[in-house]
Amino acid sequence: MAKLERLDKVLANMGYGSRKDVKSFIKAGLVSVNGKIILDNSFKVDPNNDMIQFKDGVVNYRKYVYLMMNKPQGLVSSTDDPFSRTVIDLLPEEYLIYKPFPAGRLDKDTEGLLLLTNDGQLAHQLLSPKKGVDKTYYVEVEGYVDESYIVAFKEGVVLDDGYKCLPAQLEIIQPDLISKVYLTIQEGKFHQVKRMFQSFDMRVVYLKRISMGPLKLDESLASGEFRELTEEELSLLKS
Ligand code: URA
């Protein structure tokens, strides 16, 4: 069944002004619903189906916003932080009105794929350990990563606190003094990738998330850039 919401609330949520502003716009006859001017603030609308017009322009109501960001180093992935700039600081006002938050954290020095949304249900689906969504990282790590590590990661790496990780898939791109690998994990423990390598006395020197479930980082996004998910990406994520 359609969820009805107060007209003044819908307009205020859309950024047409404060609740007080939009009440005065409604009283002034500037707002119509399905072609009829509405003077009652508390009038209930189905924001997804009713046609709401403000000063003759159609109000494109959206409840959710889904943004893919190529997170740069140096920003924290939370909505606010007393000491550091956050990924939210990169977003313009037109997106801030939806109050997006990062679905899952990346460390301050980690780059790459970050989903920003206000859809709590989708975020939960992606992050819940029970759902086992794959997260793939490109990793540069000090030390020679040979084939034997593939087995070790598959068997479950034990972290410094004794936690045994779920099986992880390691793909070696280039073994060297600083090795380049892809690592796919299904969990999201604090500093997990770094700690997994630490358990072999290896230090991660560069970390970038390149995919999350079916969502792949759009390589055309420069560091710090973002874009909305395409319809296709969204339906893949939700399926
Ligand atoms: N693992 C880490 O160690 N850091 C991240 O940012 C993500 C995964």
Q: What CATH number should be reported for the domain whose range is 66-129+215-238?
A: 3.30.70.580
Which CATH architecture best describes the domain 5-58?
A: Roll (3.10)
Whole-prediction pTM: 0.81
Domain residue spans of the chain: 5-58, 66-129+215-238, 134-212
In sequence order, which residues have a C-beta less than 8 Å from that of residue 149 and are 6 or more positions away?
A: 170, 172, 200
Q: What is the dihedral of CA 11, 16, 18, 19, to 10 degrees?
A: -20
pLDDT in tens, 108-126: 999 999 999 999 999 999 9
In sequence order, which residues have a C-beta less than 8 Å from that of residue 202 and are 6 or more positions away?
A: 141, 142, 143, 145
> Active site includes 89?
no
Ligand 1: which of 110, 115, 165, 185 to mutate, most ligand atoms within 8 Å of CB?
110
pLDDT in tens, 65-111: 899 999 999 999 999 999 999 999 999 877 887 889 999 999 999 99
Q: What is the dihedral of CA 228, 64, 121, 189, to 10 degrees?
A: 40
- Extract the tokens encoding 207: 């970390």
Pocket lining for ligand 1, CB < 6 angstroms: 106-107, 110, 191-194, 207
Which CATH architecture best describes the domain 134-212?
A: 2-Layer Sandwich (3.30)
Q: Which of 107, 109, 119, 201 is catalytic?
A: 107
Domain 66-129+215-238 and domain 134-212, same fold? Reply is yes
List, as one string, the DSSP characters of 8-35: HHHHHHTTSS-HHHHHHHHHTT-EEETT
In sequence order, which residues have a C-beta less than 8 Å from that of residue 1 and are 6 or more positions away?
A: none
The closest residue, in CA terms, to atom 4 on ligand 1 is 191
